[in-house]
Amino acid sequence: MTSKLLASLVAIAMLTIGAAIAAPVNYTLPEETAAFKPGPNLDVVQSNCTGCHSADYIKTQPQGEKFKKDFWQAEVTKMIKVYGAPIDQADVGKIVDYLSATY
């Protein structure tokens, strides 16, 4: 029993040491091929959304009349409730207005 405990402690120590000396991973993101369109509340969108999303990604979302305000309201709500996006409630309407007017 003692040998199993000792083997487990050695394994944990080795994993801890390995994690401590592991080199960080660096990578270069590809160049953006899209840009946010100018419009009211663009600054709010850039400050709240670009930490996780590029303009390219947002542009790939469904477009058209049926995907206007209700769609973007649901998406922003999902980002907050499901993914924990730190979006202030005062900014939600501004983000929805910008996205529904420009995409």
What domains are there in the chain, each with its CATH number? Answer: 42-102 (1.10.760.10)
Q: What is the pTM of this model?
A: 0.67
**pLDDT tens digits, one per residue of 10-59:** 777 776 776 667 677 787 877 778 888 899 999 999 999 988 888 888 88
pLDDT of the residue at 67: 63
Three-state secondary structure string covering the chain: CHHHHHHHHHHHHHHHHHHHHCCCCCCCCCCCCCCCCCCCCHHHHHHHHCCCCCHHHHHCCCCCHHHCHHHHHHHHHHHHHCCCCCCCHHHHHHHHHHHHHHC
For 47-98, write each residue's pLDDT tens digit: 999 888 888 888 888 777 666 899 999 999 999 999 999 999 999 999 999 9
